[in-house]
Amino acid sequence: MTATMDKASELRAARARSGLKHFIGGAWVDSASGETFETHAPSDNSVITHAASGNAEDIDRAARAAHDAFPAWRALDGKARRKILYKVAALIEDRAEEIALLESLDTGQPIRFMRSAAARAAENFRFFADRAEGAQDGLSLPAKGFLNYTVRQPIGPVGVITPWNTPFMLSSWKIAPALAAGCTVVHKPAEWSPVTATLLAEILDEAGVPKGVVNLVHGYGETAGKALTEHPLIKAIAFIGESSTGSLIQKQGADTLKRTHLELGGKNPMVVFADADLDRALDAAVFMLYSLNGQRCTSSSRLLVERGIYEEFAAGIAERVANIRVGDPLDPDTEVGPLIHPRQFDKVCSYFDIARQDGATVAVGGERLGDTGNYVRPTLFTNARTDMRIAQEEIFGPVLTVIPFDDEADALRIANDVKYGLAGYLWTNDVTRAHNFAQGLDVGMVWVNSENVRHLPSPFGGMKASGIGRDGGDYSFDFYMETKNIAVNLDGHRAQKFGVGERGSAKPTLGTAPEKKLAE
């Protein structure tokens, strides 16, 4: 623990001295305006360092750099791109401890998860590197008299806008496929967690990603983020964040007809039937909500339990939740750390009163913890109904809402009774019910008898207010690339002849070329 703290202090001091600059066209630069903003440690809200605060001028420089770098990067063959992305993965692994410590310090996420998040980022780069060569592959679609085929080509410079929960891993999840596809990138990370985006840019540069291929502009969403979504040289926006911001991004991108991929919020149901393996279900319920401080888009924030086992199951959850270790995010024993920012802390705390006013039971927690930092006690709301705000709104903290249900139809009605549709978790040993229920859930991803276990080739994304589009495997390339159809005639057929009738025989109609013009 002391060695971890010492290392983190050393890394923090170095970043405090250097500050965080933009990385544009291969150079580390300040904002054109000279403005900066502070980033804070959620454990005590002390300043970690200052970051350059980008505006439209910085975004314009970055978009031009990405535009200029695009022809050479797209022309590089897949093997060469693969080699560079492999190097990125290796460097992430070399610096994994540094990434994990700085991410933990900047976001409040427990170090135990940030170590695996860094490893997953390396895996993302390797996974898409292996597919770089085949990214352009299309389909052969023979038709009578035609050789008809498709190819994929990178769409151009893209904007990547990321949130503050596990920011390093999520940035890799977007930037790796974009680069493998042959796109160039302007990355705008979240203003509450800018530190590790800087590390990623350093690593990409060191790995030999050519200048201008990846550019980083720090700054606020309403300034730098907005300018990125409106820039005419940026062809698409890959976005992860809140549903309301996703909607803004579509509006802002409308004038330049941006392609947008939106990975948004969730209020994901975990449905537990009485016939399930209840021990495993209980482990999964606690883990899928309280890990990553509950700041996880796929967290199972609504627990739906069959009425016959409701009391016992809820009591089992309550016992575990009361026992969760809350502490300094850099302590390897910590299970839940502080929330990212005082604003998020206030938002989460506001639901304690909302739950009480709406008539739910605050079975565990429901209060802040200590006087320093953004710590809340892991919280459990029981006896909730689907119409309560705690059952409808994304709270994004270590706060779980438990709702009883009567039968399968009731469970499905409650599960689908929210505006979101990202993930669903289903616990039953009845195989017919499992398939039918999974198909009935209005969500993009369903796990049956499991917590969220990510499989990179499988599609990741949501329905309804949880998003538009899918990531993962080839689905990512569908977003970062244009599909082109090429049709080659093989049977020498002729097109219908036009304009071969006897001159003057046609009745003059609107649009017939005048005699005089033809003579000219």
Q: By CB under 6 A, is residue 476 in contact with ligand NAD?
A: no
Please choose, from the candidates 257, 154, 164, 126, the residue with its C-alpha nearest in 3D space to the C-alpha of residue 213: 154
Cβ atoms of 284 and 448 within 8 Å: the answer is no
Q: How far is the CB of 206 from ligand NAD (least distance, A)?
A: 24
Query: At closest approach, how far in Å is the CB of 314 from ligand NAD?
Result: 25
Number of Cβ atoms within 10 Å of the Cβ of 37: 17
DSSP string, 223-288: IIIHHHHH-TT--EEEEES-HHHHHHHHHHTTTTT-EEEEE-----EEEE-TTS-HHHHHHHHHHH
Q: Which stretch binds ligand NAD (CB under 6 A): 21-29, 131-139, 156-164, 486-494?
A: 156-164
The nearest distance, CB 112 to ligand NAD, in angstroms, is 19
Q: What are the C-alpha distances in Å from 235 to residues 10, 153, 185, 275?
A: 40, 13, 10, 50
Residue 294 makes contact with ligand NAD by CB under 6 A: no
Cβ closer to ligand NAD: 378 or 467?
A: 467
Contacts (Cβ under 8 Å, ≥6 apart) of 114: 99, 100, 101, 103, 104, 107, 166, 329
Please count the residues of this chain forming the interface with ligand NAD, following the rule CB under 6 A: 34
Per-residue binding letters, 211-250, with ligand NAD (x by CB under 6 A): ---------xxx--xx--x----------xxx--x--xx-
Site string for ligand NAD, 380-409 (x = CB under 6 A): --------------x-x-------------
As given in the structure block, the two tokens for residue 295 are: 């700041």
Q: Is 137 in the site for ligand NAD (CB under 6 A)?
A: no
| Minimum distance from residue 268 beta carbon to ligand NAD (Å) | 10
Paired tokens of 19 = 């500050």
**Distance of alpha carbon 105 from alpha carbon 180, whole angstroms:** 30
Q: Which is nearer to ligand NAD, 223 or 382 (CB)?
A: 223
* Residue 240 or 362 having the CB closest to ligand NAD: 240
Sites for ligand NAD among residues 173-202 (CB under 6 A): 188-191
Measured from the CB atom, the residue of 107 and 136 that comes closer to ligand NAD is: 107
Q: Does 255 bind ligand NAD (CB under 6 A)?
A: no
- Helix H, strand E, coil C: the string for 84-143 is HHHHHHHHHHHCHHHHHHHHHHHHCCCHHHHHHHHHHHHHHHHHHHHHCCCCCCCCECCE
Calpha distance 135→477 (Å, rounded): 7
Burial class of residue 119 (count of CB atoms within 10 Å of its CB; 0-12, 13-18, 19+): middle
Strands (DSSP E) along 454-519, which ranges? 463-464, 467-468, 481-489
Question: Per-residue x/- mask for ligand NAD, residues 488 to 517, rule CB under 6 A?
Answer: ------------------------------
Q: Which is nearer to ligand NAD, 121 or 264 (CB)?
A: 264
Residue 293 DSSP one-character state: G
Beta strands at 423-427 and 269-272: parallel, antiparallel or unpaired: parallel
Stretch that binds ligand NAD, among 79-87, 263-271, 408-416, 504-512 (CB under 6 A): 263-271
Q: Is 366 in the site for ligand NAD (CB under 6 A)?
A: no
Helices 96-107 and 78-94: angle between axes, nearest 10 degrees:
70
Instruction: Give the nearer residue to ligand NAD in terms of CB position, either 86 or 220.
Output: 220
**Rounded (5°) CA angle 411-287-294:** 85
Is residue 456 close enough to count as binding ligand NAD by CB under 6 A?
A: no
Residue 42 as a binder of ligand NAD (CB under 6 A): the answer is no
* CB of 245 or CB of 379, closer to ligand NAD: 245
Pattern 296-325, ligand NAD, x by CB under 6 A: -x----------------------------
Report the residue number, 131 or 174, with the smaller CB distance to ligand NAD. Answer: 174
Q: Is 447 in the site for ligand NAD (CB under 6 A)?
A: no
Site mask, ligand NAD, residues 419-438, x = CB under 6 A? ---x----------------
Q: Which residues are catalytic?
A: 263
- Residues of this chain that interact with ligand NAD (CB under 6 A) are 161-165, 170, 188-191, 220-222, 225-226, 229, 240-242, 245, 248-249, 252, 263-266, 297, 394, 396, 422, 462, 466-467
